[in-house]
């Protein structure tokens, strides 16, 4: 947008120094014109370039402009601007800076010009300033702004997820200021458990919610949570309804302040015995673990699987078919079930895991087992292998090297023989890929290749792949 600062309009004119300009000789005036712009063009009344001053290193495409009409040196969309500047100069109007683009081998070259009439209106001088650096700065600023917007959107999405988890949790959860023990936030379950009206807990102090006899115990629990990461829950009694609850407190820092995450669970709802350490470890393990029913519908999963599929909570996954996230449709899960039927387990099967809304998926390695009984359950362990695949060095027998070997045969063999060699190469590579994909399960490899088992064994013998058993049916 053009403003008054892009012209001489409104600026204080020279006062005592004005007389100096009357004494300027031709050489000084020429230097002043060259300094005033990165590019300086001398034009006649029709816009033809009579002379030009510029640095050939910065503006190589400007060589040869002398004798050319100025309007012919700019892009199509810039020509109306040239015409407007020349017309305004003829009328003696105050000139504003206007950006035009010159075509060049490296793309369009942006220059900002202002035109000044000289020699009683017979000639014009166009002062141009290079805008390439300003354009680069604007591009960098735009990239930074877009990056900040993406980060902000990502943070908003995370906040929405955790807010939904907080609001929908069946466990009473409070966020409390550590210094004053004033409640900052409380989910609906906390309002129900404490017998408070919806939205009335924020602003109240936590000690007022518990019985007088339990307040010292609560203070001791808070102090321990601020200095330790592992504090055992303690029973306390609530004020309004007199219920016994087990309180768990964990400290955290946010916005340079200390806060407490307080969880309240009614004592009657606690498990009779201690939780299994195996289940606790499974929930904390970095690899995804999930349990599905006989129809491959999700029954339960650990935190790692919930995060991998970018779900808000486990409740969002229960009852949905595993094929929504795992495997390529109609191939991988059928293959895994076939391996379990044949061998009792599927080990290290390569497949993909898709997050909600994705179509491609991330490469993963999957192992699975199935329980016995009338209503069997499937257990799956899923491990991402994308980073491992990126870190692997290229194989010694990858396809490009084999293709180079085939092209080297041109001139030494006929085209028919080269085509036969190519067919054998592709067939061998596909069989090797199928064996790798099925963890060397030849029956499954034959199935996905569309071959009979006997045909596959015949080709394995032909190419010398693997140690074959004496009985092909075994």
pLDDT tens for each residue of 61-117: 888 888 999 999 999 999 999 898 888 888 877 777 888 999 988 888 899 998 888
Cross-strand bridge partners of residue 185: 175
CATH number assigned to the domain comprising residue 452 = 1.10.10
Residue 212 CA, chain-centre distance (Å), reads: 51
Whether 126 and 31 map to the same domain: the answer is yes
Whether 321 and 377 map to the same domain: the answer is yes
Question: Who contacts 406 (Cβ-Cβ below 8 Å, separation ≥6)?
Answer: 418, 421, 422, 425
Q: Per the domain annotation, does 473 fall within a domain?
A: no
Whether 31 and 112 map to the same domain: the answer is yes
Q: Per the domain annotation, does 250 fall within a domain?
A: yes
d(CA 18, CA 274): 94
Nearest to 128 by CA among 206, 38, 214: 38
What is residue 173's predicted lDDT score, i.e. its pLDDT?
92
| Overall domain count for the chain | 4
Residue 239: how many other CB atoms lie within 10 Å: 16
What is residue 187's predicted lDDT score, i.e. its pLDDT?
92
Whether 119 and 64 map to the same domain: the answer is yes
CATH number assigned to the domain comprising residue 94 = 3.30.450.20
Nearest to 129 by CA among 150, 147, 140, 114: 114
What is residue 421's predicted lDDT score, i.e. its pLDDT?
73
Whether 418 and 359 map to the same domain: the answer is no
Reported for 434-439, long-range contacts at CB under 8 A and 24+ positions apart, including other chains, are: 435/465, 435/466, 436/350, 437/349, 437/350, 438/335, 438/339, 438/349, 439/339, 439/347, 439/348, 439/349
Give the pLDDT means over successive 10-residue stretches in the chain (474 positions).
52 64 70 82 89 88 88 91 88 82 88 86 87 86 90 86 84 91 92 88 91 88 82 84 86 86 79 60 86 89 88 81 82 83 85 77 87 86 71 43 60 66 82 85 86 84 65 43
Whether 336 and 422 map to the same domain: the answer is no
What SS3 class is residue 428? helix
Whether 191 and 262 map to the same domain: the answer is yes
Whether 306 and 383 map to the same domain: the answer is yes
Residues 452 and 446 sit within 8 Å (Cβ to Cβ): yes
Nearest to 383 by CA among 366, 371, 369: 366
Whether 362 and 429 map to the same domain: the answer is no
Tokens coding 328 = 């390529």
Classify each residue of 72-99 as buried b or exposed e, where b means 16 or more C-beta atoms within 10 Å of its C-beta: ebbeeebeebbeebbebbeeeeebbbbe
Residues 287 and 364 sit within 8 Å (Cβ to Cβ): no
What is residue 107's predicted lDDT score, i.e. its pLDDT?
84
Domain assignment of residue 437, given as a range: 399-463
User: Which pTM value belongs to this model?
Assistant: 0.36
Nearest to 286 by CA among 384, 390, 165: 384
Query: Per residue in 224-233, pLDDT tens?
Result: 888 877 677 8
Q: Which of 374, 391, 408 is the last residue of a domain?
A: 391
What is residue 175's predicted lDDT score, i.e. its pLDDT?
93
Residues 258 and 178 sit within 8 Å (Cβ to Cβ): yes
Whether 217 and 234 map to the same domain: the answer is yes
Q: Per the domain annotation, does 247 fall within a domain?
A: yes
What is residue 466's predicted lDDT score, i.e. its pLDDT?
62
């Amino acid at each position: 947008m053009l403003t008054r600062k892009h012209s001489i309009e409104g600026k204080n004119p020279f006062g005592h120094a004005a007389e100096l300009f009357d004494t300027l000789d031709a050489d000084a005036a020429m230097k002043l014109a060259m300094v005033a712009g990165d590019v300086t063009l001398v034009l006649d009344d029709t816009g033809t370039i009579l002379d030009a001053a510029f640095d050939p290193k910065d503006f190589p495409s400007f060589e040869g402009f002398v004798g050319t009409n100025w309007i012919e040196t700019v892009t199509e969309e810039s020509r109306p601007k040239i015409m407007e500047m020349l017309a305004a100069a003829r009328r003696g109007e105050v000139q504003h800076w206007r950006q035009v683009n010159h075509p060049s081998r490296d793309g369009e070259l942006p220059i900002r010009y202002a035109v000044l009439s000289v020699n009683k209106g017979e000639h014009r001088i166009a002062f141009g300033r290079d805008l390439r650096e300003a354009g680069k700065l604007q591009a960098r600023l735009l990239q930074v702004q877009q990056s900040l917007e993406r980060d902000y959107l990502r943070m908003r999405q995370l906040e929405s997820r955790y807010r939904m988890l907080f609001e929908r949790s069946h466990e009473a959860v409070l966020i409390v200021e550590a210094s004053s023990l004033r409640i900052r936030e409380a989910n609906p379950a906390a309002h129900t458990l404490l017998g408070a009206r919806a939205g009335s807990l924020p602003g109240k102090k936590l000690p007022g919610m518990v019985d007088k006899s339990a307040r010292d115990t609560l203070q001791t629990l808070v102090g321990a949570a601020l200095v330790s990461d592992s504090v055992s829950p303690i029973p306390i009694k609530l004020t309004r309804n007199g219920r016994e609850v087990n309180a768990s407190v964990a400290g955290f820092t946010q916005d340079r302040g200390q806060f407490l995450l307080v969880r309240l669970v009614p004592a009657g709802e606690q498990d009779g015995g201690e939780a299994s350490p195996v289940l606790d470890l499974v929930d904390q393990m970095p690899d995804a673990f999930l349990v599905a029913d006989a129809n491959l519908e999700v029954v339960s999963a650990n935190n790692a699987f919930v995060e991998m599929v970018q779900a808000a909570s486990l409740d969002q996954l229960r009852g949905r078919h595993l094929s929504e996230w795992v495997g390529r449709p109609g191939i991988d899960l059928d293959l895994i079930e076939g391996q379990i039927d044949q061998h009792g387990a599927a080990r290290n099967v390569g497949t993909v895991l898709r997050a909600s809304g994705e179509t491609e998926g991330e490469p993963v390695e999957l192992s699975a087992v199935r329980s016995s009984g009338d209503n069997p359950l499937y257990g799956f362990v899923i491990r991402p292998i994308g980073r491992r695949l990126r870190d692997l060095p290229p194989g010694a027998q990858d396809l490009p090297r084999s293709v180079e070997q085939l092209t080297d045969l041109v001139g030494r063999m006929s085209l028919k023989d080269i085509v036969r060699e190519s067919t054998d190469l592709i067939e061998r590579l596909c069989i090797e890929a199928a064996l790798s994909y099925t963890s060397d399960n030849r029956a499954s490899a034959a199935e996905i290749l569309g071959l009979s088992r006997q045909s596959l064994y015949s080709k394995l013998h032909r190419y010398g792949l693997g140690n074959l058993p004496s009985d092909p049916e075994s």
